[in-house]
Amino acid sequence: MSETRVFLLPDLGEGLTEAELVSWHVAVGDEISVDQPIAEVETAKSTVEVPSPYAGIVAELHGQPGETLDVGKPLISVTPVSVAGTAADDAAPAEPAGPVVEPAETELGEPAAEPAKAHPEAEAYREEEKAGSGNVLIGYGTPGGHGVARRTRARRSSVALAEPADTTPAGTPAEDDLTLLRTRVPGRLGAVISPLVRRMAREHGVDLGELPGSGEGGLIMRRDVEKAIHAPVVEPAETTPAETPKSPAEPAKTTAAPEGTDARTGLPIAARTPVRGVRKAVAANMARSRSEIPEATVWVDVDATGLLELREGLKAGGAQVPGLLAFIARFVTAGLKKYPELNTRIETASDGSQEIVSFDGVNLGIAAQTDRGLVVPSVRAAEKLTARELDAEIRRLTDVARQGKATPTELGSGTFTLNNYGVFGVDGSAAIINHPEVAILGVGRIIDKPWVVNGELAVRKVTELTLTFDHRVCDGGTAAGFLRFVADAIENPTTLLADI
C-alpha cells in the first residue's frame, strides 16, 4: 500500500509561527492535484490560500476551522494514487507502517528516501511530484518544471536520509537520531526528532511540543517518548469550590472563587476572548515599541482652510480630486526628503552596538482600521507618486486590507506611518510608533474654530497634527521642523502641488 504523505503547515512569510484555520476547501476522500488550494488560513498579516504539494486522495484533515495551528505541524494527509486513478499497487516494496511526515526544512517536492526498486506506478507519482508547477506560496513552493527540487538547506548525507523499519531495537535510542532524518519542532529551536520518534509519539497521542528532551541540546529521544507513554495519567483538579470543614471557633472559608466569577473583582465573567491573529500581532508590536523606543510627541494646530478651498476649486473644474489624506501624504513624502532622519530604522547588532539605517525612498504606511484589527499597508516608493497616484494606491491598499487580502510585503515594508484618526471624531492622539519605524504622524478631525487671520478673528477649518518620534534618531528641533513643514504645506498647498 502506498504511503500517506503528511503536508506540514509552511512558513507563510515574515517568520510567522502560527496561523488560524479559516476554512477547508477539500474533504476527506476528495481527490486533489498538485498546487490545488486546500485551505484558507489567517495569519497575523493576512488571509491566504494554502496549495497542496501532493496529488492524491485526502486521508485526513489535521484541524478544525477556528483552530490555531503552529507552523511545521501537520495540515493535511494525502494518499498518492496511480496515474490510472487507483491506489498504488500492494506489491510495491515494503514501506514503514504509518504515514511519513515530510520535514519542514528539507528539499521541497523531493521524497525523503528512495527505495532501491520502485513500482512503476509509484515512480510515476514521484516524477509528477518532482515536476511541480512552480507556484509559490510566500516562503514555500513546488519546484519548477526542470525536475530538480529547489533546496532550502545544505544537502544531508545519504545516511541521514535513510529511514529504517520499526524493528529498530528499543535499547539503542542514540541511533534513532544519528541515522534518521531530523526535523525541527516549532517553538523548540533545540529539539529535533526523527520520523520514527514522531510516529511513535503520534500513535500514542504524545504532544512533542510539550515534551522535554533528554538528549544533547534538548534533543527529544525515543526514551523520552516511551517515558511519556508510560507516565501515570493525572486527573484534572476539581473546578468546583471545596467546602472547608467548620469548627466551633471559626466560620467556613471559600477556598476558590465560584465558577464563572473573577477572583479579584468578584464580578461574573461575561466572556473570554483569545488574543490571536491581527490582534495578537498588534499587541506584540505595540508592546515592543513601548519597551524599546524612547518616544517623544510634538503637535500643532493647523489652518486647513486653504487645502479645502483648493479641493473645492478642483471639483468645480470637473477634475477628479484626490482625498484629503492623499494631499497630506504628498506633503509628508516631501517633508521626509527634507528631514530624512525620520525615515530610518535602528538596528542592534549581536554585540549590542546600534546603527541608524537610512533609506533611498519612502514606503508610506497608511494605518487602516479593519474588522480584523488595525493594519498598516504601505505605499511603496511613495515619494515618486503624485497626489492623484497616491490617492489611488491608498484606496486600493485600504480595500485589500479590509478584505484581509493584503500581502505580507504590503503590510510589513513601511518606513514611516501616516494615521488619520480624525475619521473617528477625535482631535489628537499620542500614537505608538509602528516598530521598527521611528516616527508616526497623526491627523485629527477638521472642525470650525476661531482663528486669527491678518489680525482679525475668523472662523477657519482647523485640524491638529501630532508627531510621535524616536528620540534616538533625532532631537526635538528636527521633529518640530518636519511637523512645521507639513503644517505650512497644508496651509499653503499650492506651493507643493504643481504635479497633481
What span, in angstroms and rounded, lies between the C-alpha atoms of 114 and 50? 27
- The closest alpha carbon to 378, from 320, 346, 333, 423, belongs to 333
Domain covering 277-495 in this structure, CATH number = 3.30.559.10
Q: Give the angle 469-475-476 at the CA atoms, nearest 5°.
A: 75
How would you label 267-301 residue by residue, b for 16+ Cβ within 10 Å and e otherwise? eeeeeeeeeebbebbbeebbeebeeebebeeebeb
Helices assigned H by DSSP within 2-134: 120-131
What span, in angstroms and rounded, lies between the C-alpha atoms of 471 and 431? 14
Domain limits, the chain: 1-154, 156-232, 277-495
Query: Is 4 within 8 Å of 100 (Cβ atoms)?
Result: yes
Q: Give the angle 61-64-67 at the CA atoms, nearest 5°.
A: 125
Q: Based on the residue annotation, tell me whether 471 is a catalytic residue of this protein.
A: yes
156-232: CATH topology is: Dihydrolipoamide Transferase (4.10.320)
1-154: CATH topology is: OB fold (Dihydrolipoamide Acetyltransferase, E2P) (2.40.50)
Neighbours of 39 (CB within 10 A): 23
Q: What is the dihedral of CA 287, 14, 467, 404, to 10 degrees?
A: -100
Q: Give the angle 27-30-35 at the CA atoms, nearest 5°.
A: 95
Question: What Cα–Cα distance (Å) separates residue 347 from each residue in 9, 172, 281, 282, 353?
Answer: 30, 47, 20, 20, 8
Helices 324-338 and 305-316, axial angle in degrees (round to 10): 120
How would you label 142-151 residue by residue, b for 16+ Cβ within 10 Å and e otherwise? bbbeeeebbe
What span, in angstroms and rounded, lies between the C-alpha atoms of 135 and 34? 10
What span, in angstroms and rounded, lies between the C-alpha atoms of 334 and 496? 8
Query: Is 406 within 8 Å of 400 (Cβ atoms)?
Result: yes
Question: What Cα–Cα distance (Å) separates residue 284 from each residue in 138, 279, 288, 291, 402?
Answer: 22, 9, 6, 11, 21
- The closest alpha carbon to 327, from 312, 343, 316, belongs to 312
Q: What is the dihedral of CA 371, 433, 347, 372, to 10 degrees?
A: 0
What span, in angstroms and rounded, lies between the C-alpha atoms of 236 and 261? 20
Q: List per-block mean pLDDT (blocks of 10 residues) for the chain, which spans 500 residues.
A: 82 69 91 90 76 91 88 90 52 47 42 44 43 40 39 40 43 41 40 63 74 71 79 53 47 54 91 82 87 95 95 85 95 97 94 94 94 89 95 95 86 94 91 95 96 95 97 96 97 76
- The closest alpha carbon to 63, from 17, 100, 26, belongs to 26
Query: Is 19 within 8 Å of 42 (Cβ atoms)?
Result: yes
CATH topology of 156-232 equal to that of 277-495? no
C-alpha cell at 307: 487645502
Phi-psi region of 342 (alpha: psi -120 to 50; beta: other; left: phi over 0): alpha
C-alpha cell at 101: 511526515
Given 119, 146, 204, 471, the catalytic residue: 471
What span, in angstroms and rounded, lies between the C-alpha atoms of 394 and 378? 8
* Helix (H) or strand (E) run with residue 479 in it: helix 476-491
What span, in angstroms and rounded, lies between the C-alpha atoms of 122 and 102? 17
* Helix (H) or strand (E) run with residue 196 in it: helix 195-203
Q: Give the angle 467-469-474 at the CA atoms, nearest 5°.
A: 120
Share in percent of the chain as helix, strand, coil (round to 5): 30, 25, 50
